[in-house]
Amino acid sequence: MKKKENEKLNLFLLLKTITPKIIRISPVYFWIAVAISIIHGLFWGFDILVRQYFFDATASFVGKTAEFRSVLLAFAALAFTAVMTQLLNGISNYMWYVLNMRKMQMFRFEINARIRRLSPEVFENTETLDDINKAGMGAGAAVELFAVIEIILCFYLPYFLFVGWYLFSLKPLFLLTIVIIFIPTALTQLIRAKVFSKLEDESAPKRREYEYYEKAVADREYLKETRLLGGFAYFKEKFSESYRLCLKLRMRAEFRSSLFELSMNVITILGYFGILYMLFTALMAGEITVGAFAAVFANMGMLYSIMAEVVQMHIGRLAQNFGATINYVRFLELPERSGEIKKAPAWGDITFQDVTYSYPNTERPALSHVSFTLRRGETLAIVGENGSGKSTLVRLLSGLYLPTEGRVLHNGVDTREIDPEALYQGTTAVFQKYQRYQMTLRENLAISDTAKQADSAQLEEICKMAGCDSADASFTNGYDTMLSREFDGVDLSGGQWQRVAIARGFYRNHNLIILDEPTAAIDPYEETRVYNRFAELSREKSAVIVTHRIGSVRLADRILVMQDGHAVQLGTHEELVQKEGEYRRLWEAQEQWYKENPEQETDAVSVN
């Protein structure tokens, strides 16, 4: 896999990108939570000071140099600190919890809104697709990551600053205490971060593999074919292979970081005894009071466990979430499509000017130097062998994809300059890989134009044209039939689904309609019928039909012939049949078919 740019993406950059978003959710609430956390942290630090007072007061009282009142006062301060730490703990936990929930909600909404604005081409690139698929998980990780950063900055830092100040004021050398505890634990986590971010990079493609193989074995869509064709064992084996590899990588990472952690812990323990020795000699030399000795000694355990908590639990979580958060940040950086021109140009010709298109990360262009004009109101058929570039061409024609080189002009305006929302407004399409929405029949149709009120008469007309009859026995509840077995509805046959998809395409208000072979599962006669009705409807509109069947080709005004990414011929059926070339070759292939099936009508014959 190509090295991604996560090296450049450091924690600082991450903070810079995401912090303003978090504060913006609710600035007042955020700053109150910050203030409460800081006070909370200071109270924890305060504990050590109050303990010293308490021990000193008690020692003085025992030595008869102080009154019982001062012991009581110190005790009250100790109790107050204990109560306050618990109270502030509860309040700040609750406040951060609520804020985290709101962060998650905001990130989720933002992901959805952003996916809509992304350039469709980013979905063709496996690397960026990874970032898109993991954006949701990455957002969860970002919330965790920031929760950790917030708690470190707003709670632990004030605590350590206070304790640091206290130790320093006792004896500057005591500051070493914090350093001795901190360095080995921090080093451990630094290594951990490195190991896990490397693991994430190495295992992501393998994980994608095994998730796919698992789907091929267990997913309903795949199940029948995989079982019947005997692919089950094959996919299972593939799955285990990738899964095992992933596991091996993970175990290796865990082993390495654990080994390092263990050796660092030994050093920490040695440091702990060093500190004790330091304290003892200071007490003997009369540099600190008995109270200070006792307070530091009593708080050593706490200092150590808080440090371990920060570094192992929080910084460990930080490191693990960092990898996934990168997916989210990279997702935020994916190119969005927008155009200077916010209003669609008046409906007119669509011109391809020397257009070349290559899919991301591919060497060979799918389209090479294609030039032609789809005239306003014209019906154009596109024919050509599999892989000749037909589907790619219609994606560029609709403006869904932008050319790598050359220009596609909608009434003279470059598709690059038009805002996608405006660009798609007058276009409808039924794609080769159409969707089966798990919703009612009505919703399946109306989804293509949600601005329209779906009145039954109109639905009826559209359905008739696409040859899908809501009165059909399959639609047990008319337009309100749920088309999904998973949601207690019915399932349709492949051909029925195609008709629904075609009806959906027709339903949308449009000037241009694109049909990219949506009729493969419909018999040739029915296809011709659908297309004839469609031609009537589309008389004023521009239409592009990608098809292999000559019956549909013939109803087009002109035919564009694709071969190996090039537009090799353009003309009417009569013109093209006369000439030597790809179209004649395709035509003759079907003529042969016609001779062998004399009882069939020419209209229903396939071109290829």
Ligand X SMILES: Nc1ncnc2c1ncn2[C@@H]1O[C@H](COP(=O)(O)OP(=O)(O)OP(=O)(O)O)[C@@H](O)[C@H]1O
CA distances from 497 to 79, 447, 466, 519 (A): 72, 15, 11, 10
Rounded to an integer, what distance in angstroms lies between the CA atom of residue 587 and that of residue 573? Answer: 10
- Binding to ligand X by CB under 6 A, coded x per residue (else -) over 386-425, reads xxxxxxx---------------------------------
Per-residue DSSP letter, 309: I
Choosing from 59, 73, 104, 124, the residue that interacts with ligand X (CB under 6 A) is: 124
387 binds, among Mg ion, ligand X, none (CB under 5 to 8 A by kind): ligand X
- Binding to ligand X by CB under 6 A, coded x per residue (else -) over 128-157, reads ------------------------------
Residues 402-461 close enough to bind Mg ion by CB under 5 A: 432
Rounded to an integer, what distance in angstroms lies between the CA atom of residue 149 and that of residue 182? Answer: 17
User: Considering CB under 6 A, how many residues would be counted as binding ligand X?
Assistant: 13
Which residue's CB is nearer to Mg ion, number 44 or number 497?
Answer: 497
Residue 608 interacts with Mg ion (CB under 5 A): yes or no: no
Token digits for 419?
A: 């805002």
Choosing from 100, 391, 474, 608, the residue that interacts with Mg ion (CB under 5 A) is: 391
Contact 159, 48 (CB under 8 A): no
Token digits for 603?
A: 């209209």
Strands 512-516 and 427-430 turn out to be parallel
Q: How far is CA 552 from the centre of its chain?
A: 40
User: Considering CB under 5 A, how many residues would be counted as binding Mg ion?
Assistant: 3
Which residue's CB is nearer to ligand X, number 39 or number 567?
Answer: 567
Instruction: Output the DSSP codes for 235-274.
Output: HHHHHHHHHHHHHHHHHHHHHHHHHHHHHHHHHHHHHHHH
CA angle at 356 for the pair 433 and 424, rounded to the nearest 5°: 50
Picking from 386, 393, 382, the residue whose alpha carbon sits closest to that of residue 357 is: 393
Residue 547 interacts with ligand X (CB under 6 A): yes or no: no
474 binds, among Mg ion, ligand X, none (CB under 5 to 8 A by kind): none
CA distances from 412 to 346, 432, 603 (A): 10, 28, 36
Residue 564 interacts with ligand X (CB under 6 A): yes or no: no
205 φ, ψ (degrees, to nearest 5): -65, -35
359 binds, among Mg ion, ligand X, none (CB under 5 to 8 A by kind): ligand X
E-strand ranges in 332-451 read 350-357, 367-374, 379-384, 405-410, 413-414, 427-430
Contact 428, 512 (CB under 8 A): yes
Rounded to an integer, what distance in angstroms lies between the CA atom of residue 518 and that of residue 537? Answer: 17
Minimal distance, residue 432 CB to Mg ion, in Å? 5
Minimal distance, residue 362 CB to ligand X, in Å? 5
Which run of H or E residues covers position 164? helix 157-170
Which residue's CB is nearer to Mg ion, number 384 or number 403?
Answer: 384
Stretch that binds Mg ion, among 366-374, 382-390, 478-486, 588-596 (CB under 5 A): 382-390
Minimal distance, residue 366 CB to ligand X, in Å? 3
Contact 463, 445 (CB under 8 A): yes
415 binds, among Mg ion, ligand X, none (CB under 5 to 8 A by kind): none
Choosing from 42, 319, 366, 514, the residue that interacts with ligand X (CB under 6 A) is: 366
Rg (CA), the chain: 35
Residue 489 interacts with ligand X (CB under 6 A): yes or no: no
Which residue's CB is nearer to ligand X, number 145 or number 586?
Answer: 586
Which residue's CB is nearer to ligand X, number 60 or number 563?
Answer: 563
Minimal distance, residue 586 CB to ligand X, in Å? 12
124 binds, among ligand X, Mg ion, none (CB under 5 to 8 A by kind): ligand X
268 binds, among ligand X, Mg ion, none (CB under 5 to 8 A by kind): none
Residue whose C-beta lies closest to Mg ion: 391
Minimal distance, residue 545 CB to ligand X, in Å? 13
Which residue's CB is nearer to ligand X, number 40 or number 549?
Answer: 549
Which residue's CB is nearer to Mg ion, number 390 or number 504?
Answer: 390
Which run of H or E residues covers position 205? helix 176-218
Which residue's CB is nearer to Mg ion, number 435 or number 477?
Answer: 435
262's CB contacts (< 8 A; 6+ apart) are none
Tokens 């912090």 belong to 19
Minimal distance, residue 519 CB to Mg ion, in Å? 13
Residues 291-320 close enough to bind ligand X by CB under 6 A: none
- Binding to ligand X by CB under 6 A, coded x per residue (else -) over 370-389, reads --------------x-xxxx
Minimal distance, residue 426 CB to Mg ion, in Å? 23
Question: Interface with Mg ion by CB under 5 A: which residues?
Answer: 390-391, 432
Question: Interface with ligand X by CB under 6 A: which residues?
Answer: 124, 359, 362, 366, 384, 386-392, 432
